[in-house]
Amino acid sequence: MTNLSRSKNKRAEYIHQRLEELFPETPIPLDHKDPYTLLIAVLLSAQCTDVRVNKITPKLFKKADTPKKMIKLDVKEIEDIIRPCGLSPRKSKAIWELSHILINEHDSKVPQNLIDLEKLPGVGHKTASVVMSQAFGEPMFPVDTHIHRLAQIWGLTNGRNVKQTEKDLKALFPKQSWNKLHLQIIFYGREYCQARGCDGLRCDMCQEMYPNRKTIKAYKKP
């Protein structure tokens, strides 16, 4: 590869190609059986690893895997189960409240649009985008901390904020690739280009795109 550091579009093409080679399959990291259990798992994953969430959700979903079952638990009971995921007081309250809203306003179903999803307690734009992408197959590009960091290190965005990063990535990659790329970039960040393990200097893709880079590439956190 030559002159990748000079062309954002060429870097995007290279990244897309390499990620397809490295991660041809992109299983959804959070265990779930339907849109509701995915929504709860994604909410729990805020500031928590997918591995830990997957250890906690079987116990929670054994007691309550539908909105109607969830509201029969009290908030404290939910909190006790999900405590290892962190932020348990806030998350348990959000789970209990959004379950009521789903019952009262959406016939116990998870809405299939961003506007209604983002109105739910504890559900921000990223969580809503993940649900739309992974539960309903709608083209989305949810930006988590790995994607926000790598997009800056790879020179695909200025990283001013997560919203801008999402906009820039959507402009660079084909719409039909967004859902898969979202996971591929996360997988790459976890396996090859961790924040403390690369900093834009060490992993194969960073070296290929920026062979002359000598100093750590700073990035803005979300």
Residues recognised as catalytic: 126, 144
The dihedral sign for the CA sequence 24, 27, 29, 35: positive
* Chain-centre distance for alpha carbon 77: 27
SS (H, E, C) 27-84: CCCCCCCCHHHHHHHHHHCCCCCHHHHHHHHHHHHHHCCCHHHHCCCCHHHHHHHHHH
Q: Which long-range contacts (CB under 8 A, 24 or more apart) does 47-50 make?
A: 47/86, 47/87, 48/85, 48/86, 48/87
Tell me how far apart the alpha carbons of residues 44 and 208 are, in angstroms, rounded to a whole number.
36
Tell me how far apart the alpha carbons of residues 171 and 141 are, in angstroms, rounded to a whole number.
11
